[in-house]
Structure 1
């Protein structure tokens, strides 16, 4: 009889475990994490598409504004040339002004490899730049005899 009681308790425990597992599986079936992840993915995809559209619109508008700016600049150059030709009577001054206007127009269109227009540098600055052969210093100057900041011995003084 004791053996029968142990078997009955084991069967009851097994049935209670199966029933508990069934109830837990039903309770968690509504919380599908893959559906939640899919919704998040769809949301992020939509936001990314909206962002791409905004970037494309931004660059299209920037190109349009740059084109208008270029057209206005050309109109201004044309107006200046016409004004110099009609208003300036001195031929020497007229030719000098027209050459300056054309030179400014060429400088505006001239892009060097670095994206900068060449500038007139005074002769003193040119010689100073050409004769400078010292290595660049990326640290603060130090007093002679003092350890530099890049030295291994440089650190907080210990007592």
Structure 2
């Protein structure tokens, strides 16, 4: 009996130690899971960088629009000052310059609707009363000249 219980205890210990060793060996042999986790981490970092970059570009263009509007307002102020001076200082009191309207932003979010132009024609347009460029007789003389009757050449007899 003692031999059987010892044998069963040794078998259980070997089974548990084999399972533990197998678990660690399989963990080392499956680098796909480790690579996948590293790739997922890298992908999420790249997504975050892309979002940060898009936000940076958006804020850059917002600020550019604000600066352009300020520049336009400064230009408008200088132009109107020159117009006022020209009207006051010109001998006739009439200035060829006109004041620019106030308060209208240069950059507006409204999109201008562009009317599409007609596509180019791929043929010569037909003139009234004449045959078009695609007609088989286009460019031919309207008068048909009678052809002289020509005899075909005869082969010499030997």
Q: TM-score, normalised by structure 1?
A: 0.48
Q: Which has the higher contact order (CA 8 A, sep 6+)?
A: 2
**Which structure has the larger Rg?**
2
Which is helix-richer, 1 or 2? Answer: 1
